[in-house]
Structure 1
Amino acid sequence: MTKAKPKKVQNKLIVFPREQLFRYLRSGKFVALSSDWKHENLPLLIDYELIVVTEGTLFLRYMDEDFTVSAGEYLILPPSKSKRSGFKKAYCSFYWSHFTVDMKTLPARITQDEAYVYERAGCFLIPQTAPVPRLEKMVVQMKQLQDLERNNYPDITLNAAITSIVAELFGQLISEIPRNLDPIGNNQIYSDIADYIRRNISENIKIRDIADAFGYSPKYLSHLFSVVSGSSLKQFIMSQKIETASYLLTDTDKTISEIAASLGFSDMHNFSRSFKKVTGLSPTAYRNTYSKRLLYHV
């Protein structure tokens, strides 16, 4: 008898109730020891699992579907009697969190065609897998969750933290396209500018550089960006640099000088001053605050 092949993934939506704290179970960071690694055959009966891949590619089979999740992408697995298992060997590194949700009579996963019904029923819906719009921010929050657990914070804090992480992902996906849509393509300009900044995050980016790249005057481009995004272009550039710095401080062993140089700051003191202005902490204090890590080699 020929064994049925796994289905091609049709990206479904994961359903979450809006007015509820989720129950945190456990979390960690996984790093494969080699490119010869493949996910073990493990059950997921009552848990949800949120996976955020930071390096390599995760090849995971679940509920008779094959998921290929690359660096910078997430995957949400709902509870089921199916076991999750690797279907291909590869090196990867990812953050993961397990939690439960009281769904009552609601389904955990639906198709795109059913979305309207469940949105009207007071649910928020997240695509099962997609790129993370602001990966660095997600990683920092997942690292902070691990730090809370390691420091024996109470259940209410951990439950609030995992709920906040899922809500953060939802917010990122919703706000990726600015709200005040217009018929003349300003939102595409916003997206293109944001992509340009992220691609050139290691440079000392000036508004004039961006304006020259897109063929606008600096004054007009700044005004256009503020109208569409609600914040100034200068603030957005700095927020992206600080977000990346937060990720590098918590997820790498780079020195503060190396991080400052990699983000286009003139020197470490300028970087430290800017970082503290935005976060309220010096880079060293920020790193020390979230220095603990739950690392798993499976």
Structure 2
Amino acid sequence: MHLADINPYLRYARVHPAVMEGDRFRAAYDYRLFYVLDGDMTFVTEEGESALTPATVLFVLPGVPYRFVGRAKVLVLNFDLSREHADDPVPRTPDEIGKFHAERIFTHTPPPELSHGITLYGAEALEPLLRRCVSESLCLGEGSDAITSALLKEALCLLLEETKGISHEQPKIVQEITLYLRENFDRSLTNSDIAAAFGYHPFYLNRLFKEHTGTTLHKALLAVRIRNAKGLLKRTSLSVEEIVKESGFSDRTQFCIAFRHATGMTPSEYRKKSRT
């Protein structure tokens, strides 16, 4: 299966007021997306732990043992990547590992991009899509199934776009830098500032980062800022001046030059096109 071929089937979508901790590992029979709305908890697998804060997204594969420690308000989606089992719409509760039956997993051959778990911090851009999945799944109207499938595919593609540049083969420091840029892009940052945050010499850190990502620290930071600006132009009515500030640019001129270079359009042209 290729990414372009997925046709997701949403089996379950709800906002859980409190996902509570469990002391035993469980595994699901379909794919899971968790989006943390409020609270703090820890996601535990056999490979390690991840501290979860609001606006964190988890993508969990079927058959992977996991449990949560703590309590948080979470948006939960259960789904397949194809409609092969759409005639079996009843959600299946994850089983404890001792009772898990691997042959009952719904989807067996994901595309390479979705063949591993994903944790993404600062994923506010996905929240509107995931909330729409929930609301559409509750409508039960004509066409709602097709709408949720399209929304879920868009959300998965956006998740992959947001995690582009974060590879399991990369050194941990490179992954940490990528996350740091995404969490601090709205600040005034130089290579020296970024290097100081990690205790490295700017030249060495920039070379290491480029070696493993194919781009420099400056270009990576600029790409994050442009992506944030594009999202604000699409989803909000903020003025260009406000978006300049929200996206970490020093002034409107710098922003407009960088935006046109990246997209071939002015910010106003991009906003108009994205809303037609």
Q: Shorter-chain TM-score category?
A: 0.5 to 0.7
Out of 79, 84, 101, the residue aligned to residue 103 of structure 1 is 84
Structure 2: tracts of 5 or more residues without a match: 11-16, 18-30, 40-51, 60-72, 134-145
Amino acid paired to 1:270 = Q
In 2 relative to 1, CA 219–119 (structure 1 residues): closer, same or farther, beyond 3 Å? farther
What is the CA deviation profile of residues 189-212 of structure 1, one whole-angstrom value per residue up to 9, with x for unaligned ones? 113322332333222311122123
Matched ranges for 1:165-244 at <5 A: 165-169=155-159, 177-181=166-170, 187-244=171-228
Amino acid paired to 1:102 = R
In 2 relative to 1, CA 246–224 (structure 1 residues): closer, same or farther, beyond 3 Å? same
SS in 2 for 1:203: coil
Q: Is 1:122 paired with 2:122?
A: no
Name 2:44's counterpart in structure 1: none
Matched ranges for 1:254-265 at <5 A: 254-265=238-249
What is the CA deviation profile of residues 36-88 of structure 1, one whole-angstrom value per residue up to 9, with x for unaligned ones? xx9xxxxxxxxx997867x767xxxxxxxxxxx97414589xxxxxxxxxxxx
Amino acid paired to 2:219 = Q
Point out the more displaced range, 108-117 or 242-251. 108-117
Verify the 8 A CA contact 1:50 1:75 in the aligned structure 2. Answer: yes
In 2 relative to 1, CA 162–199 (structure 1 residues): closer, same or farther, beyond 3 Å? closer
Q: State the distance in 2 between where 1:20 and 1:188 align.
A: 30
In 2 relative to 1, CA 219–111 (structure 1 residues): closer, same or farther, beyond 3 Å? farther
Q: Is 1:284 paired with 2:268?
A: yes
> Given the two structures, how large is their TM-score scaled by the length of structure 2?
0.54
Amino acid paired to 1:262 = E
What is the CA deviation profile of residues 197-237 of structure 1, one whole-angstrom value per residue up to 9, with x for unaligned ones? 23332223111221233232221111111122232211111
Q: State the distance in 1 between where 2:260 and 2:129 align.
A: 18
In 2 relative to 1, CA 282–134 (structure 1 residues): closer, same or farther, beyond 3 Å? farther
Out of 21, 38, 55, the residue aligned to residue 7 of structure 2 is 21
RMSD across aligned C-alpha pairs, in angstroms?
5.3
Verify the 8 A CA contact 1:51 1:74 in the aligned structure 2. Answer: yes
Q: State the distance in 1 between where 2:206 and 2:190 align.
A: 11
With CA pairs under 8 Å and 6+ residues apart, which has the higher RCO, 1 or 2? 1
Q: State the distance in 2 between where 1:160 and 1:265 align.
A: 34
Amino acid paired to 1:199 = E
Q: State the distance in 2 between where 1:178 and 1:126 align.
A: 11
Name 2:63's counterpart in structure 1: none
Amino acid paired to 2:123 = L
- Taking only the aligned residue pairs, the percentage that are identical comes to 22
Q: State the distance in 2 between where 1:207 and 1:214 align.
A: 11
Name 1:72's counterpart in structure 2: 55
Matched ranges for 1:148-163 at <5 A: 162-163=152-153
Verify the 8 A CA contact 2:126 2:159 in the aligned structure 1. Answer: yes
Q: State the distance in 2 between where 1:236 and 1:259 align.
A: 19
Q: State the distance in 1 between where 2:124 and 2:34 align.
A: 14
- Equivalent residue pairs, number: 219
What is the CA deviation profile of residues 240-280 of structure 1, one whole-angstrom value per residue up to 9, with x for unaligned ones? 11111122222333211111123332221210111121123
Structure 1: tracts of 5 or more residues without a match: 1-15, 25-37, 39-47, 58-68, 77-89, 146-155, 182-186, 293-298
Amino acid paired to 1:190 = V
